[in-house]
Amino acid sequence: MKYLLCLLLLWCLGCGDERPPLQSVGTDNEVVFAHDTFADAGFERAVRQALAQPEGALTAAALAGLQKLDAGGYDIVDVQGVEQLRGLEMLLLGDNAVGDIAPLEGLRRLQVLDLSNNAVEDIAPLADLLLLNSLNLDGNKVADLQPLARLTLLSLLNLDDNQVRDIAVLLRLRRLQSVELSGNPLDLDQVETLRERVLLVTFFQPTITFQDAQLERSVRSVARKRTENLTVLDLRGITSMSLNSSVKSLDGIEQLVNLEVLRFNGSTREGELQSLLPLASLQKLHTLDLTTASLENITSLASLTSLQKLNLNNNDIVDVSSLAGLTNLIELRLESNVIQDISPLRGLGRLEKLYLESNWIDDLSPLRSLRRLTMLHLSFNRVVDLSPLSSLRALEWLEFAQNSVVDIAPLQGLRNLENLDFNANLVVDIGPLAGKALLGSLFFENNFVVDLLPLAALPELRRLRLRGNEVADISVLMTLEKLLSVDLRNNPLSEDSLALIEEIAKGNIPRVTF
């Protein structure tokens, strides 16, 4: 009979295989609703059970007079047609699969509404249900509670297991007596603010564990909880941590939302972190040390824009493009990797210390713009041309051993240099060093230096290493009043120079090696 009625209705409306709109026949309270008054068969079954009318036509009067409907667990997806139940005061729709609750917006008499364990994201249709005093939204996907702002009669509210981050709107609901918030990514401060209103607030914090037992051991050590359950509050209190090579997985560390300093030192090549992804959300990190972690992919670090100090020494990194946006960096260590292209670093204008030793770098042009640099380590690379460094007038410390530089003229204008290591290059002429009034330490071993006369203009020079050059005449050293040590081994010293050494050792240079 129902099947024939549906066919008849489709034929009358000419709708083909589309769902017909809700239809009724008759007038006033004698209106009779067809079988498809409700879009969802499960919902209709619940309505019929509530009306004790498993079959037959449903009148408008019967539907409008229904005050309570328990439709929990009927596999309901669509509640279209519920607007006909305009007399409802209690509606229980828990344990279904309802996503769209727009049809509920006209049920102005509702006082009790249960939507627990559905698929609801948008609760805007509830905004005008001003008589609601009990609302259950457990187990949905709700994030925004703003639509509840006008529900001033609300006294009981269940919000367990949703996606709520902001509960400020609940402070306006003066009649609210009980609220359940467990399973939401909430700030504990907000929860405590609610509790201060003498509300019954349920906010269960589940037991926290970590995939990596060594990581959990480290967390427990910092939290001073050897065996007791860790809580969110414990993790929020951790601002600094040090890990060793026994830690392989960082999964779970993202829960340490206030972490500011993290140091991982693998010590040997046994150190290996599986992924840096758990670090991506730690926005308060300002110091990160990931030494010897067998890292190749560092893309997860791109979001850590608060970083000021980053140590990635002794890894397997080739691509540093993920660091391009870390513009708050002051100190960056990338020693002992396999980096050739340093162009992503050109925008890191706040850098003061940069360590690039033992890589494959041959082009220094990206460093031209890093004018705040005071310390630069570039030993053991493949550099020939120093000219990009001429603009780095703030440099105080430069290490450039084991490259292939012949011409050091670009260093001439770097008046603030205090320490210079240029061992194992191809330099003959050290004339550009003259006049560096602050230079106190000069290492120039294994070059091709002949003439030391430019050293006479280095009044602060204290340490000098010239082993393995072509020096014959060392008489200029007698003028360096502050010189404390000098290494002259493996140079073709003249007889006069050899005679001077004993005199120099007795005089103003206490330590001479030749």
Tens-digit pLDDT profile for residues 300-346: 999 999 999 999 999 999 999 999 999 999 999 999 999 999 999 99
What is the reported pTM? 0.68
Domain range enclosing 444? 361-514
51 class by beta-carbon count within 10 Å (0-12 exposed, 13-18 middle, 19+ buried): middle
Domain end call among 329, 358, 387: 358
* Residue 135 forms part of a structural domain: no
Closest CA to 354 of 321, 364, 444: 364
pLDDT per residue as tens digits for the range 243-281: 988 999 999 999 999 999 999 987 655 568 889 999 999
Q: Would residue 141 count as lying in a domain?
A: no
Q: Give residues with Cβ within 8 angstroms of 103, minimum separation 6.
A: 79, 80, 81, 82, 83, 125
- Are residues 342 and 428 located together in one domain of the fold? no
Distance (Å, whole) CA 469 – CA 449: 5
The pLDDT of residue 69 is 97
* Cα–Cα dist 103/92, whole Å: 15
Domain of 484, CATH number, reads: 3.80.10.10
Domain assignment present for 374: yes
Whole-number pLDDT of residue 128: 97
Number of domains in the chain: 2
Instruction: Tell me whether residue 379 is exposed, middle or buried, using C-beta atoms within 10 angstroms of its C-beta: 0 to 12, 13 to 18, 19 or more.
Output: buried
Is residue 57 included in any domain, yes or no? Answer: no
Q: Is residue 187 part of a domain?
A: no
Which of 404, 394, 504, 417 is closest to 446 using CA atoms? 404
Residues 444 and 496 in one domain: yes
* DSSP letters for 390-437: GG-TT--EEE--SS-----GGGTT-TT--EEE--SS-----GGGTT-T
Residue 157: what are its φ and ψ, rounded to 5°? Answer: -140, 125
* ∠ Cα 202 205 211 (to 5°): 160
| Same domain as 462, residue 330 | no
Is the C-alpha dihedral spanning 351, 357, 358, 362 positive or negative?
positive
Residue 134 sits at φ, ψ, to 5 deg, of -140, 125
Token pair for 172: 């306006």
In a domain, 485, yes or no: yes
pLDDT score recorded for residue 113: 98
Q: How many CA atoms lie within 13 A of 379 on its CB side?
A: 14
Neighbours of 352 (CB within 10 A): 17
Is the residue at 180 inside a domain?
no
One domain for residues 232 and 343? yes
Residue 184 lies in a domain: no
Q: What is the rounded CA–CA span in Å between residue 108 and residue 88?
A: 8
Do residues 422 and 441 lie in contact, with contact meaning Cβ atoms separated by under 8 Å? Answer: no
Statement to judge: residues 235 and 315 lie in one domain:
yes
Same domain for 214 and 248, yes or no, is: yes
- Where a domain ends, among 342, 358, 374? 358
Q: Which residues does residue 265 pair with via DSSP β-bridges, in sequence order?
A: 244, 291
Residues 255 and 351 in one domain: yes
Are residues 511 and 485 in contact, defined by beta-carbon separation less than 8 angstroms?
yes
* One domain for residues 269 and 384: no
**pLDDT in 10s for each residue of the chain, 514 residues:** 333 233 233 323 333 333 333 333 333 344 444 445 799 999 999 999 999 999 888 899 999 999 999 999 999 999 999 999 999 999 999 999 999 999 999 999 999 999 999 999 999 999 999 999 999 999 999 999 999 999 999 999 999 999 999 999 999 999 999 999 988 888 778 888 888 887 788 887 677 889 999 999 999 999 999 888 888 778 989 999 999 889 999 999 999 999 999 999 876 555 688 899 999 999 999 999 999 999 999 999 999 999 999 999 999 999 999 999 999 999 999 999 999 999 999 999 999 999 999 999 999 999 999 999 999 999 999 999 999 999 999 999 999 999 999 999 999 999 999 999 999 999 999 999 999 999 999 999 999 999 999 999 999 999 999 999 999 999 999 899 899 999 999 999 999 999 888 777 776 676 777 6
**Strands 58-59 vs 68-70: parallel, antiparallel or unpaired:** unpaired
pLDDT score recorded for residue 271: 62
Do residues 354 and 212 share a domain?
Answer: yes
Whether residues 338 and 417 share a domain: the answer is no
320 and 371 part of one domain: no
Last residue of a domain, one of 358, 379, 408: 358
Cβ-contact 435, 411 below 8 angstroms: no
* Residues 307 and 430 reside in one and the same domain: no
SS3 387: helix
